[in-house]
Structure 1
Protein backbone atom coordinates (compact mmCIF):
# COMPACT_ATOMS: atom_id res chain seq x y z
CA UNK A 1 0.00 0.00 0.00
CA UNK A 2 1.30 3.43 -0.99
CA UNK A 3 2.79 5.67 1.71
CA UNK A 4 1.19 9.10 2.09
CA UNK A 5 3.20 10.46 5.02
CA UNK A 6 6.13 9.11 7.06
CA UNK A 7 7.44 10.60 10.32
CA UNK A 8 10.93 9.62 11.47
CA UNK A 9 11.99 10.53 15.04
CA UNK A 10 10.21 13.86 14.84
CA UNK A 11 10.98 16.11 17.84
CA UNK A 12 9.84 19.64 18.70
CA UNK A 13 11.06 21.60 21.71
CA UNK A 14 9.75 24.94 22.91
CA UNK A 15 12.55 25.98 25.26
CA UNK A 16 12.59 23.48 28.13
CA UNK A 17 9.31 21.91 27.01
CA UNK A 18 9.45 18.93 24.64
CA UNK A 19 6.09 19.00 22.84
CA UNK A 20 6.87 16.08 20.50
CA UNK A 21 9.53 13.47 21.25
CA UNK A 22 11.02 11.02 18.71
CA UNK A 23 7.66 10.47 17.04
CA UNK A 24 7.65 7.91 14.21
CA UNK A 25 4.73 6.45 12.27
CA UNK A 26 3.58 5.94 8.67
CA UNK A 27 0.25 6.80 7.09
CA UNK A 28 -0.76 4.59 4.19
CA UNK A 29 -3.20 5.42 1.42
CA UNK A 30 -6.90 4.77 1.91
CA UNK A 31 -7.06 4.59 5.71
CA UNK A 32 -8.49 6.85 8.39
CA UNK A 33 -5.84 7.61 11.02
CA UNK A 34 -6.48 9.15 14.41
CA UNK A 35 -3.83 10.85 16.51
CA UNK A 36 -5.34 10.33 19.94
CA UNK A 37 -4.19 11.85 23.18
CA UNK A 38 -5.20 14.12 26.06
CA UNK A 39 -5.18 17.89 25.52
CA UNK A 40 -1.60 19.15 25.45
CA UNK A 41 -0.16 15.84 24.26
CA UNK A 42 1.44 17.26 21.09
CA UNK A 43 -1.23 16.39 18.51
CA UNK A 44 -1.64 19.90 17.07
CA UNK A 45 2.13 20.51 17.11
CA UNK A 46 2.64 17.33 15.08
CA UNK A 47 0.07 18.43 12.49
CA UNK A 48 1.63 21.91 12.39
CA UNK A 49 5.04 20.41 11.61
CA UNK A 50 3.88 18.24 8.69
CA UNK A 51 1.87 21.19 7.30
CA UNK A 52 5.00 23.37 7.42
CA UNK A 53 3.61 25.95 9.85
CA UNK A 54 5.81 24.78 12.76
CA UNK A 55 9.52 24.00 12.41
CA UNK A 56 10.71 20.73 13.93
CA UNK A 57 13.73 20.65 16.25
CA UNK A 58 15.01 17.35 14.86
CA UNK A 59 13.85 14.33 12.86
CA UNK A 60 12.10 14.41 9.51
CA UNK A 61 8.81 13.88 7.74
CA UNK A 62 8.43 12.61 4.20
CA UNK A 63 5.40 13.23 2.01
CA UNK A 64 4.45 10.54 -0.52
CA UNK A 65 7.49 8.92 -2.18
CA UNK A 66 10.01 11.35 -0.73
CA UNK A 67 10.78 12.85 -4.14
CA UNK A 68 8.18 15.60 -3.81
CA UNK A 69 9.04 18.89 -2.11
CA UNK A 70 6.88 19.81 0.89
CA UNK A 71 5.58 22.85 -1.04
CA UNK A 72 4.38 20.66 -3.94
CA UNK A 73 3.15 17.89 -1.65
CA UNK A 74 0.90 20.29 0.26
CA UNK A 75 -0.95 21.04 -2.99
CA UNK A 76 -2.30 17.48 -2.63
CA UNK A 77 -3.31 18.03 1.01
CA UNK A 78 -6.51 19.48 2.44
CA UNK A 79 -6.34 20.70 6.04
CA UNK A 80 -8.35 22.39 8.78
CA UNK A 81 -6.24 23.11 11.82
CA UNK A 82 -7.99 26.24 13.10
CA UNK A 83 -11.54 27.49 13.54
CA UNK A 84 -13.33 28.07 10.21
CA UNK A 85 -12.61 31.62 9.06
CA UNK A 86 -14.79 32.90 6.24
CA UNK A 87 -16.28 36.28 5.35
CA UNK A 88 -19.55 36.59 7.31
CA UNK A 89 -21.33 38.80 4.74
CA UNK A 90 -20.58 36.46 1.81
CA UNK A 91 -22.56 33.33 0.93
CA UNK A 92 -21.19 29.80 1.23
CA UNK A 93 -20.66 29.61 -2.53
CA UNK A 94 -18.98 33.05 -2.67
CA UNK A 95 -16.59 32.11 0.14
CA UNK A 96 -15.66 28.85 -1.60
CA UNK A 97 -15.14 30.70 -4.90
CA UNK A 98 -12.64 32.95 -3.13
CA UNK A 99 -10.85 29.87 -1.74
CA UNK A 100 -10.68 28.45 -5.28
CA UNK A 101 -9.00 31.66 -6.50
CA UNK A 102 -6.47 31.55 -3.63
CA UNK A 103 -5.70 27.84 -4.19
CA UNK A 104 -5.69 28.19 -7.97
CA UNK A 105 -8.32 25.47 -8.49
CA UNK A 106 -11.39 25.36 -10.73
CA UNK A 107 -14.57 26.74 -9.13
CA UNK A 108 -16.64 24.10 -10.95
CA UNK A 109 -16.08 21.83 -7.93
CA UNK A 110 -17.97 24.08 -5.48
CA UNK A 111 -21.43 22.51 -5.77
CA UNK A 112 -20.00 18.98 -5.71
CA UNK A 113 -18.15 19.66 -2.43
CA UNK A 114 -21.15 21.42 -0.88
CA UNK A 115 -23.17 18.30 -1.72
CA UNK A 116 -20.59 16.09 0.07
CA UNK A 117 -20.99 18.07 3.31
CA UNK A 118 -24.77 18.46 3.02
CA UNK A 119 -24.80 22.21 2.41
CA UNK A 120 -25.82 22.46 -1.23
CA UNK A 121 -29.27 23.78 -0.27
CA UNK A 122 -27.57 26.56 1.73
CA UNK A 123 -25.09 27.62 -0.95
CA UNK A 124 -26.68 31.09 -1.24
CA UNK A 125 -26.98 31.64 2.53
CA UNK A 126 -24.59 34.08 4.17
CA UNK A 127 -21.89 32.55 6.37
CA UNK A 128 -23.03 34.59 9.38
CA UNK A 129 -26.34 32.68 9.39
CA UNK A 130 -24.61 29.31 9.79
CA UNK A 131 -24.51 27.29 13.02
CA UNK A 132 -21.11 26.20 14.36
CA UNK A 133 -21.63 22.73 12.86
CA UNK A 134 -22.48 24.20 9.44
CA UNK A 135 -19.39 26.42 9.59
CA UNK A 136 -17.26 23.36 10.26
CA UNK A 137 -18.89 21.49 7.36
CA UNK A 138 -18.21 24.45 5.05
CA UNK A 139 -14.56 24.37 6.17
CA UNK A 140 -14.40 20.69 5.20
CA UNK A 141 -15.90 21.52 1.77
CA UNK A 142 -13.22 24.22 1.42
CA UNK A 143 -10.46 21.72 2.24
CA UNK A 144 -11.81 19.31 -0.39
CA UNK A 145 -11.80 21.80 -3.29
CA UNK A 146 -8.39 20.68 -4.57
CA UNK A 147 -9.41 16.97 -4.44
CA UNK A 148 -6.70 16.22 -1.86
CA UNK A 149 -5.11 12.82 -1.47
CA UNK A 150 -5.19 13.33 2.29
CA UNK A 151 -7.51 15.40 4.46
CA UNK A 152 -6.09 16.59 7.82
CA UNK A 153 -8.49 17.63 10.58
CA UNK A 154 -7.57 18.95 14.03
CA UNK A 155 -10.33 18.22 16.62
CA UNK A 156 -13.06 18.35 13.92
CA UNK A 157 -16.01 18.03 16.35
CA UNK A 158 -14.74 20.36 19.08
CA UNK A 159 -17.53 22.49 20.55
CA UNK A 160 -20.32 20.92 18.51
CA UNK A 161 -23.63 19.64 19.85
CA UNK A 162 -24.43 15.89 19.54
CA UNK A 163 -26.20 16.36 16.18
CA UNK A 164 -23.28 18.37 14.80
CA UNK A 165 -20.81 15.74 16.03
CA UNK A 166 -22.81 12.97 14.34
CA UNK A 167 -22.98 14.91 11.04
CA UNK A 168 -19.22 15.57 10.96
CA UNK A 169 -18.44 11.92 11.72
CA UNK A 170 -20.76 10.71 8.95
CA UNK A 171 -19.12 13.14 6.51
CA UNK A 172 -15.64 11.86 7.48
CA UNK A 173 -16.77 8.26 6.83
CA UNK A 174 -18.30 9.28 3.48
CA UNK A 175 -15.12 11.06 2.34
CA UNK A 176 -13.01 8.07 3.39
CA UNK A 177 -15.30 5.66 1.51
CA UNK A 178 -14.53 7.63 -1.66
CA UNK A 179 -10.82 6.85 -1.28
CA UNK A 180 -9.43 9.94 0.44
CA UNK A 181 -6.93 9.23 3.22
CA UNK A 182 -7.80 11.04 6.45
CA UNK A 183 -5.67 12.06 9.42
CA UNK A 184 -7.51 13.54 12.37
CA UNK A 185 -6.33 14.64 15.79
CA UNK A 186 -8.71 14.09 18.68
CA UNK A 187 -8.80 13.77 22.46
CA UNK A 188 -12.07 11.82 22.15
CA UNK A 189 -11.65 8.05 22.27
CA UNK A 190 -15.23 7.63 21.06
CA UNK A 191 -14.45 9.63 17.92
CA UNK A 192 -11.41 7.52 17.01
CA UNK A 193 -13.23 4.27 17.75
CA UNK A 194 -16.17 5.24 15.52
CA UNK A 195 -14.41 6.69 12.46
CA UNK A 196 -10.75 5.56 12.39
CA UNK A 197 -9.18 2.37 11.06
CA UNK A 198 -5.79 3.15 12.63
CA UNK A 199 -4.69 5.05 15.71
CA UNK A 200 -1.50 6.65 17.03
CA UNK A 201 -1.79 7.29 20.78
CA UNK A 202 0.49 9.96 22.20
CA UNK A 203 0.92 11.55 25.61
CA UNK A 204 3.36 14.33 26.46
CA UNK A 205 4.67 14.04 22.90
CA UNK A 206 5.60 10.37 23.26
CA UNK A 207 4.05 7.59 21.14
CA UNK A 208 2.43 4.90 23.29
CA UNK A 209 0.77 2.82 20.56
CA UNK A 210 0.52 2.79 16.78
CA UNK A 211 -1.54 0.37 14.73
CA UNK A 212 -5.04 -0.73 13.70
CA UNK A 213 -7.83 0.22 16.10
CA UNK A 214 -9.21 -3.33 16.14
CA UNK A 215 -5.78 -4.78 17.04
CA UNK A 216 -5.57 -2.47 20.02
CA UNK A 217 -8.96 -3.81 21.01
CA UNK A 218 -7.74 -7.42 20.77
CA UNK A 219 -6.25 -7.62 24.25
CA UNK A 220 -6.07 -10.77 26.40
CA UNK A 221 -8.31 -9.23 29.05
CA UNK A 222 -7.91 -9.25 32.81
CA UNK A 223 -8.87 -11.17 35.93
CA UNK A 224 -10.70 -9.83 38.96
CA UNK A 225 -9.31 -11.73 41.96
CA UNK A 226 -9.90 -11.92 45.72
CA UNK A 227 -8.15 -14.05 48.31
CA UNK A 228 -7.65 -14.07 52.07
CA UNK A 229 -3.95 -14.60 51.23
CA UNK A 230 -3.62 -11.26 49.41
CA UNK A 231 0.11 -10.73 49.94
CA UNK A 232 0.91 -14.24 48.69
CA UNK A 233 -1.32 -13.66 45.66
CA UNK A 234 0.29 -10.34 44.72
CA UNK A 235 3.76 -11.82 45.16
CA UNK A 236 2.83 -14.74 42.88
CA UNK A 237 1.38 -12.37 40.23
CA UNK A 238 4.52 -10.19 40.24
CA UNK A 239 6.69 -13.23 39.38
CA UNK A 240 4.59 -14.58 36.50
CA UNK A 241 5.07 -13.30 32.97
CA UNK A 242 1.49 -14.24 32.05
CA UNK A 243 0.59 -10.88 33.63
CA UNK A 244 1.83 -7.50 32.42
CA UNK A 245 0.68 -5.63 35.54
CA UNK A 246 -1.89 -5.60 38.31
CA UNK A 247 -3.55 -3.13 40.66
CA UNK A 248 -5.91 -3.04 43.64
CA UNK A 249 -9.38 -1.61 43.09
CA UNK A 250 -12.47 -1.76 45.34
CA UNK A 251 -11.00 -4.60 47.44
CA UNK A 252 -10.17 -6.71 44.37
CA UNK A 253 -6.91 -7.33 42.56
CA UNK A 254 -7.17 -6.52 38.85
CA UNK A 255 -4.53 -8.53 36.95
CA UNK A 256 -3.96 -7.67 33.27
CA UNK A 257 -2.93 -10.54 31.03
CA UNK A 258 0.11 -10.49 28.74
CA UNK A 259 -0.84 -13.87 27.21
CA UNK A 260 -3.93 -16.00 26.83
CA UNK A 261 -4.86 -17.78 30.07
CA UNK A 262 -8.19 -19.27 31.09
CA UNK A 263 -9.74 -19.06 34.56
CA UNK A 264 -9.51 -22.80 35.25
CA UNK A 265 -5.74 -22.87 34.53
CA UNK A 266 -5.13 -19.87 36.77
CA UNK A 267 -7.20 -21.34 39.60
CA UNK A 268 -5.35 -24.66 39.36
CA UNK A 269 -1.91 -22.98 39.39
CA UNK A 270 -2.77 -20.87 42.43
CA UNK A 271 -4.30 -23.83 44.29
CA UNK A 272 -1.04 -25.76 43.79
CA UNK A 273 0.76 -22.86 45.49
CA UNK A 274 -1.69 -23.04 48.40
CA UNK A 275 -3.48 -19.82 47.40
CA UNK A 276 -7.27 -20.14 47.55
CA UNK A 277 -9.36 -17.62 45.64
CA UNK A 278 -12.66 -16.35 47.03
CA UNK A 279 -13.44 -14.44 43.81
CA UNK A 280 -12.36 -15.15 40.21
CA UNK A 281 -13.84 -13.43 37.13
CA UNK A 282 -12.25 -13.02 33.71
CA UNK A 283 -13.20 -9.93 31.69
CA UNK A 284 -12.28 -8.33 28.36
CA UNK A 285 -10.75 -4.86 28.37
CA UNK A 286 -12.67 -2.17 26.56
CA UNK A 287 -10.76 0.18 24.26
CA UNK A 288 -11.31 2.87 26.89
CA UNK A 289 -9.68 0.77 29.62
CA UNK A 290 -6.67 0.09 27.40
CA UNK A 291 -6.37 3.77 26.49
CA UNK A 292 -6.45 4.76 30.18
CA UNK A 293 -3.84 2.12 31.00
CA UNK A 294 -1.53 3.42 28.28
CA UNK A 295 -1.92 7.09 29.12
CA UNK A 296 -1.76 6.61 32.90
CA UNK A 297 1.39 4.51 32.81
CA UNK A 298 3.46 7.50 31.70
CA UNK A 299 4.21 9.86 34.58
Structure 2
Protein backbone atom coordinates (compact mmCIF):
# COMPACT_ATOMS: atom_id res chain seq x y z
CA UNK A 1 0.00 0.00 0.00
CA UNK A 2 1.37 3.40 -1.01
CA UNK A 3 2.72 5.61 1.76
CA UNK A 4 1.33 9.14 1.42
CA UNK A 5 3.31 10.68 4.29
CA UNK A 6 6.18 9.37 6.40
CA UNK A 7 7.28 11.21 9.54
CA UNK A 8 10.58 10.29 11.19
CA UNK A 9 11.61 11.65 14.61
CA UNK A 10 9.93 14.99 13.98
CA UNK A 11 10.74 17.45 16.77
CA UNK A 12 9.78 21.06 17.46
CA UNK A 13 10.75 23.32 20.32
CA UNK A 14 9.89 26.94 21.10
CA UNK A 15 12.61 27.99 23.51
CA UNK A 16 12.23 25.80 26.59
CA UNK A 17 8.86 24.45 25.41
CA UNK A 18 8.78 21.15 23.53
CA UNK A 19 5.71 21.23 21.27
CA UNK A 20 6.40 17.98 19.40
CA UNK A 21 8.76 15.38 20.83
CA UNK A 22 10.45 13.10 18.26
CA UNK A 23 7.33 11.51 16.78
CA UNK A 24 7.30 8.98 13.93
CA UNK A 25 4.39 7.50 11.99
CA UNK A 26 3.17 6.73 8.45
CA UNK A 27 0.00 7.70 6.60
CA UNK A 28 -1.10 5.04 4.12
CA UNK A 29 -3.27 5.67 1.08
CA UNK A 30 -7.03 5.21 1.44
CA UNK A 31 -7.31 5.44 5.23
CA UNK A 32 -8.89 8.03 7.51
CA UNK A 33 -6.41 9.05 10.22
CA UNK A 34 -7.11 10.99 13.37
CA UNK A 35 -4.45 12.82 15.37
CA UNK A 36 -6.04 12.72 18.79
CA UNK A 37 -5.07 14.71 21.84
CA UNK A 38 -6.11 17.56 24.12
CA UNK A 39 -5.32 21.18 23.34
CA UNK A 40 -1.57 21.73 23.58
CA UNK A 41 -0.68 18.15 22.68
CA UNK A 42 1.12 19.12 19.46
CA UNK A 43 -1.52 18.29 16.85
CA UNK A 44 -1.57 21.63 15.02
CA UNK A 45 2.21 22.01 15.22
CA UNK A 46 2.63 18.59 13.60
CA UNK A 47 0.29 19.52 10.76
CA UNK A 48 2.02 22.89 10.38
CA UNK A 49 5.41 21.20 9.95
CA UNK A 50 4.31 18.71 7.29
CA UNK A 51 2.52 21.51 5.42
CA UNK A 52 5.73 23.57 5.38
CA UNK A 53 4.38 26.48 7.45
CA UNK A 54 6.31 25.59 10.63
CA UNK A 55 10.01 24.76 10.54
CA UNK A 56 10.97 21.57 12.42
CA UNK A 57 13.73 21.79 15.00
CA UNK A 58 14.93 18.35 13.93
CA UNK A 59 13.68 15.19 12.26
CA UNK A 60 12.24 14.83 8.80
CA UNK A 61 9.16 13.98 6.78
CA UNK A 62 8.57 13.04 3.17
CA UNK A 63 5.49 13.08 0.98
CA UNK A 64 4.57 10.39 -1.54
CA UNK A 65 7.57 8.18 -0.71
CA UNK A 66 9.97 11.00 -1.53
CA UNK A 67 9.04 10.94 -5.21
CA UNK A 68 8.41 14.69 -5.37
CA UNK A 69 9.63 17.92 -3.79
CA UNK A 70 7.69 19.45 -0.91
CA UNK A 71 6.61 22.30 -3.19
CA UNK A 72 5.15 19.92 -5.78
CA UNK A 73 3.71 17.66 -3.08
CA UNK A 74 1.61 20.55 -1.74
CA UNK A 75 -0.19 20.68 -5.10
CA UNK A 76 -1.48 17.17 -4.39
CA UNK A 77 -2.72 18.06 -0.91
CA UNK A 78 -5.87 19.81 0.30
CA UNK A 79 -5.69 21.39 3.75
CA UNK A 80 -7.63 23.51 6.22
CA UNK A 81 -5.53 24.40 9.25
CA UNK A 82 -7.08 27.78 10.08
CA UNK A 83 -10.54 29.30 10.25
CA UNK A 84 -12.21 29.77 6.83
CA UNK A 85 -11.08 33.08 5.33
CA UNK A 86 -13.32 34.25 2.50
CA UNK A 87 -14.65 37.62 1.34
CA UNK A 88 -17.94 38.29 3.19
CA UNK A 89 -19.59 40.25 0.38
CA UNK A 90 -18.84 37.62 -2.28
CA UNK A 91 -20.88 34.49 -2.98
CA UNK A 92 -19.59 30.95 -2.52
CA UNK A 93 -18.97 30.61 -6.25
CA UNK A 94 -17.17 33.94 -6.45
CA UNK A 95 -14.96 33.04 -3.51
CA UNK A 96 -14.09 29.67 -5.01
CA UNK A 97 -13.40 31.26 -8.40
CA UNK A 98 -10.88 33.51 -6.67
CA UNK A 99 -9.27 30.47 -4.99
CA UNK A 100 -8.97 28.82 -8.41
CA UNK A 101 -7.34 31.93 -9.84
CA UNK A 102 -4.83 32.20 -6.99
CA UNK A 103 -3.93 28.51 -7.11
CA UNK A 104 -4.11 28.26 -10.91
CA UNK A 105 -6.84 25.60 -10.77
CA UNK A 106 -9.51 24.97 -13.40
CA UNK A 107 -12.89 26.46 -12.38
CA UNK A 108 -14.83 23.53 -13.81
CA UNK A 109 -14.78 21.66 -10.48
CA UNK A 110 -16.52 24.36 -8.42
CA UNK A 111 -20.11 23.16 -8.69
CA UNK A 112 -19.05 19.54 -8.22
CA UNK A 113 -17.28 20.37 -4.96
CA UNK A 114 -20.14 22.52 -3.71
CA UNK A 115 -22.41 19.53 -4.28
CA UNK A 116 -20.08 17.31 -2.22
CA UNK A 117 -20.46 19.64 0.78
CA UNK A 118 -24.19 20.18 0.18
CA UNK A 119 -23.93 23.90 -0.61
CA UNK A 120 -25.00 23.93 -4.25
CA UNK A 121 -28.38 25.46 -3.39
CA UNK A 122 -26.61 28.31 -1.56
CA UNK A 123 -23.84 28.80 -4.10
CA UNK A 124 -24.95 32.36 -4.98
CA UNK A 125 -25.49 33.47 -1.37
CA UNK A 126 -23.01 35.85 0.19
CA UNK A 127 -20.49 34.30 2.54
CA UNK A 128 -21.63 36.71 5.25
CA UNK A 129 -25.03 34.97 5.32
CA UNK A 130 -23.54 31.55 6.04
CA UNK A 131 -23.71 29.81 9.40
CA UNK A 132 -20.47 28.62 11.00
CA UNK A 133 -21.11 25.09 9.76
CA UNK A 134 -21.72 26.30 6.19
CA UNK A 135 -18.50 28.35 6.31
CA UNK A 136 -16.59 25.24 7.36
CA UNK A 137 -18.17 23.21 4.57
CA UNK A 138 -17.24 25.88 2.03
CA UNK A 139 -13.66 25.69 3.29
CA UNK A 140 -13.71 21.93 2.68
CA UNK A 141 -15.03 22.54 -0.86
CA UNK A 142 -12.16 24.97 -1.39
CA UNK A 143 -9.62 22.36 -0.24
CA UNK A 144 -11.10 19.81 -2.66
CA UNK A 145 -10.82 21.98 -5.78
CA UNK A 146 -7.52 20.44 -6.85
CA UNK A 147 -8.80 16.87 -6.34
CA UNK A 148 -6.22 16.22 -3.60
CA UNK A 149 -4.86 12.78 -2.84
CA UNK A 150 -4.98 13.62 0.86
CA UNK A 151 -7.23 16.06 2.72
CA UNK A 152 -5.89 17.52 5.98
CA UNK A 153 -8.32 19.04 8.49
CA UNK A 154 -7.43 20.69 11.80
CA UNK A 155 -10.33 20.49 14.28
CA UNK A 156 -12.97 20.50 11.49
CA UNK A 157 -15.97 20.51 13.85
CA UNK A 158 -14.66 22.98 16.42
CA UNK A 159 -17.45 25.30 17.63
CA UNK A 160 -20.22 23.57 15.68
CA UNK A 161 -23.57 22.46 17.07
CA UNK A 162 -24.51 18.73 16.95
CA UNK A 163 -26.21 19.09 13.55
CA UNK A 164 -23.15 20.83 12.11
CA UNK A 165 -20.85 18.16 13.55
CA UNK A 166 -22.99 15.44 11.97
CA UNK A 167 -22.90 17.19 8.57
CA UNK A 168 -19.10 17.50 8.62
CA UNK A 169 -18.77 13.87 9.70
CA UNK A 170 -21.00 12.72 6.84
CA UNK A 171 -19.00 14.79 4.35
CA UNK A 172 -15.70 13.35 5.58
CA UNK A 173 -17.05 9.82 5.21
CA UNK A 174 -18.35 10.63 1.71
CA UNK A 175 -14.97 12.01 0.63
CA UNK A 176 -13.15 9.01 2.11
CA UNK A 177 -15.48 6.57 0.32
CA UNK A 178 -14.22 7.98 -2.98
CA UNK A 179 -10.65 6.96 -2.11
CA UNK A 180 -9.25 10.22 -0.73
CA UNK A 181 -6.90 9.77 2.22
CA UNK A 182 -7.87 11.98 5.17
CA UNK A 183 -5.83 13.21 8.11
CA UNK A 184 -7.74 15.15 10.76
CA UNK A 185 -6.66 16.55 14.09
CA UNK A 186 -9.21 16.53 16.88
CA UNK A 187 -9.54 16.61 20.66
CA UNK A 188 -12.97 14.93 20.36
CA UNK A 189 -12.83 11.20 21.07
CA UNK A 190 -16.31 10.64 19.67
CA UNK A 191 -15.38 12.29 16.38
CA UNK A 192 -12.30 10.11 15.89
CA UNK A 193 -14.12 6.92 16.89
CA UNK A 194 -16.95 7.48 14.41
CA UNK A 195 -14.91 8.71 11.44
CA UNK A 196 -11.36 7.34 11.59
CA UNK A 197 -9.87 3.95 10.76
CA UNK A 198 -6.53 4.78 12.37
CA UNK A 199 -5.43 7.04 15.19
CA UNK A 200 -2.26 8.76 16.40
CA UNK A 201 -2.51 9.69 20.09
CA UNK A 202 -0.47 12.66 21.32
CA UNK A 203 -0.06 14.08 24.79
CA UNK A 204 2.29 16.97 25.64
CA UNK A 205 4.04 16.49 22.30
CA UNK A 206 4.76 12.79 22.83
CA UNK A 207 3.21 10.06 20.72
CA UNK A 208 1.53 7.40 22.88
CA UNK A 209 0.06 5.24 20.12
CA UNK A 210 -0.22 4.94 16.34
CA UNK A 211 -2.34 2.26 14.69
CA UNK A 212 -5.90 1.07 13.99
CA UNK A 213 -8.61 2.57 16.20
CA UNK A 214 -9.91 -0.85 17.22
CA UNK A 215 -6.45 -2.08 18.22
CA UNK A 216 -5.43 0.84 20.41
CA UNK A 217 -4.64 -1.63 23.16
CA UNK A 218 -4.97 -5.35 23.78
CA UNK A 219 -8.23 -4.96 25.63
CA UNK A 220 -11.23 -6.44 23.82
CA UNK A 221 -13.82 -4.95 26.13
CA UNK A 222 -15.41 -6.50 29.20
CA UNK A 223 -18.05 -9.02 30.13
CA UNK A 224 -20.45 -8.62 33.04
CA UNK A 225 -21.24 -12.07 34.35
CA UNK A 226 -23.04 -13.62 37.33
CA UNK A 227 -24.30 -16.94 38.73
CA UNK A 228 -25.84 -18.17 41.99
CA UNK A 229 -22.50 -19.63 43.11
CA UNK A 230 -20.30 -16.59 42.58
CA UNK A 231 -17.23 -18.22 44.20
CA UNK A 232 -17.36 -21.10 41.71
CA UNK A 233 -17.94 -18.61 38.91
CA UNK A 234 -14.84 -16.65 39.92
CA UNK A 235 -12.72 -19.83 39.97
CA UNK A 236 -14.10 -20.85 36.58
CA UNK A 237 -13.57 -17.54 34.79
CA UNK A 238 -10.12 -16.66 36.20
CA UNK A 239 -8.59 -19.72 34.54
CA UNK A 240 -9.83 -18.87 31.06
CA UNK A 241 -7.17 -17.61 28.60
CA UNK A 242 -9.40 -14.74 27.50
CA UNK A 243 -9.96 -13.42 31.05
CA UNK A 244 -7.95 -10.53 32.42
CA UNK A 245 -8.63 -8.42 35.49
CA UNK A 246 -11.73 -9.49 37.46
CA UNK A 247 -13.63 -6.94 39.54
CA UNK A 248 -16.40 -7.97 41.93
CA UNK A 249 -19.53 -5.78 42.04
CA UNK A 250 -22.76 -6.12 43.98
CA UNK A 251 -24.52 -7.40 40.85
CA UNK A 252 -21.81 -9.74 39.53
CA UNK A 253 -18.30 -9.87 38.11
CA UNK A 254 -16.71 -7.55 35.57
CA UNK A 255 -14.06 -9.35 33.52
CA UNK A 256 -11.72 -7.56 31.12
CA UNK A 257 -11.08 -9.57 27.97
CA UNK A 258 -7.57 -9.97 26.58
CA UNK A 259 -8.69 -12.21 23.73
CA UNK A 260 -11.80 -12.08 21.56
CA UNK A 261 -14.51 -14.52 22.66
CA UNK A 262 -18.24 -14.71 21.97
CA UNK A 263 -20.98 -15.08 24.55
CA UNK A 264 -22.07 -18.47 23.26
CA UNK A 265 -18.62 -19.93 23.96
CA UNK A 266 -18.56 -18.50 27.49
CA UNK A 267 -22.04 -19.89 28.17
CA UNK A 268 -21.02 -23.31 26.86
CA UNK A 269 -17.81 -23.40 28.92
CA UNK A 270 -19.69 -22.39 32.07
CA UNK A 271 -22.42 -25.00 31.54
CA UNK A 272 -19.84 -27.75 31.02
CA UNK A 273 -18.27 -26.68 34.34
CA UNK A 274 -21.64 -27.02 36.09
CA UNK A 275 -22.33 -23.28 36.28
CA UNK A 276 -25.63 -21.79 35.11
CA UNK A 277 -25.13 -18.13 34.23
CA UNK A 278 -27.81 -15.66 35.30
CA UNK A 279 -26.10 -12.74 33.56
CA UNK A 280 -23.75 -12.42 30.58
CA UNK A 281 -23.32 -9.05 28.91
CA UNK A 282 -20.42 -8.09 26.62
CA UNK A 283 -19.48 -4.41 26.52
CA UNK A 284 -16.98 -3.28 23.91
CA UNK A 285 -14.50 -0.83 25.37
CA UNK A 286 -15.06 2.66 24.01
CA UNK A 287 -12.27 4.75 22.56
CA UNK A 288 -12.71 7.06 25.55
CA UNK A 289 -12.03 4.18 27.96
CA UNK A 290 -9.02 3.13 25.93
CA UNK A 291 -7.70 6.69 25.69
CA UNK A 292 -7.98 7.25 29.45
CA UNK A 293 -6.36 3.90 30.16
CA UNK A 294 -3.56 4.59 27.70
CA UNK A 295 -2.81 8.10 28.95
CA UNK A 296 -2.91 6.97 32.58
CA UNK A 297 -0.18 4.43 31.81
CA UNK A 298 2.14 6.98 30.23
TM over 0.5: yes
Q: State the Cα deviation string for residues 97-145 of structure 1 (Å, max 9, x = none).
A: 0000111000111111101100011111000000000000000000000
Query: By how many angstroms is 1:293 displaced?
Result: 1.1
Separation of aligned partners in 2, 1:138 and 1:151: 14
Query: Which residue of structure 2 aligns with residue 61 of structure 1?
Result: 61
Query: Which residue of structure 2 aligns with residue 175 of structure 1?
Result: 175
The reply to whether residue 80 of structure 1 matches residue 74 of structure 2 is: no
Find the residue that maps to 1:62 and give its secondary structure: strand
Query: Which residue of structure 2 aligns with residue 115 of structure 1?
Result: 115
Find the residue that maps to 1:65 and give its secondary structure: helix
Identify unmatched segments of 5+ residues in structure 2. Answer: 225-237, 268-280
TM-score, normalised by the number of residues in structure 1: 0.81
Separation of aligned partners in 2, 1:52 and 1:253: 53
Query: By how many angstroms is 1:72 displaced?
Result: 0.5
Q: State the Cα deviation string for residues 194-214 of structure 1 (Å, max 9, x = none).
A: 111111111111111111112
Query: By how many angstroms is 1:285 displaced?
Result: 2.7
Separation of aligned partners in 2, 1:147 and 1:62: 20
Find the residue that maps to 1:53 and give its secondary structure: coil
Mapping of residues 88-167 of structure 1, within 5 Å? 88-167=88-167
Query: By how many angstroms is 1:244 displaced?
Result: 8.8
Q: State the Cα deviation string for residues 165-185 of structure 1 (Å, max 9, x = none).
A: 000000000011111110000
Query: Which residue of structure 2 aligns with residue 296 of structure 1?
Result: 296
Contact 2:219 2:256 in 1 (8 A): no
Contact 1:219 1:284 in 2 (8 A): no
Query: Which residue of structure 1 aligns with residue 205 of structure 2?
Result: 205
Contact 1:217 1:286 in 2 (8 A): no
Query: By how many angstroms is 1:216 displaced?
Result: 2.5
RMSD across aligned C-alpha pairs, in angstroms?
3.2
Taking structure 1 as reference, are residues 156 and 93 closer, same or farther at Cα in structure 2, changes over 3 Å only? same
Structure 1 stretch displaced more, 37-46 or 281-290: 281-290
Separation of aligned partners in 2, 1:134 and 1:182: 20
Structure 1 stretch displaced more, 284-293 or 197-206: 284-293
Query: Which residue of structure 1 aligns with residue 188 of structure 2?
Result: 188
TM-score, normalised by the number of residues in structure 2: 0.81
Taking structure 1 as reference, are residues 220 and 175 closer, same or farther at Cα in structure 2, changes over 3 Å only? closer
Separation of aligned partners in 2, 1:201 and 1:185: 10
Separation of aligned partners in 2, 1:249 and 1:200: 34
Query: By how many angstroms is 1:260 displaced?
Result: 7.5
Taking structure 1 as reference, are residues 112 and 17 closer, same or farther at Cα in structure 2, changes over 3 Å only? same
Separation of aligned partners in 1, 2:284 and 2:193: 16
Contact 1:248 1:254 in 2 (8 A): yes
Count of residues paired in the alignment: 276
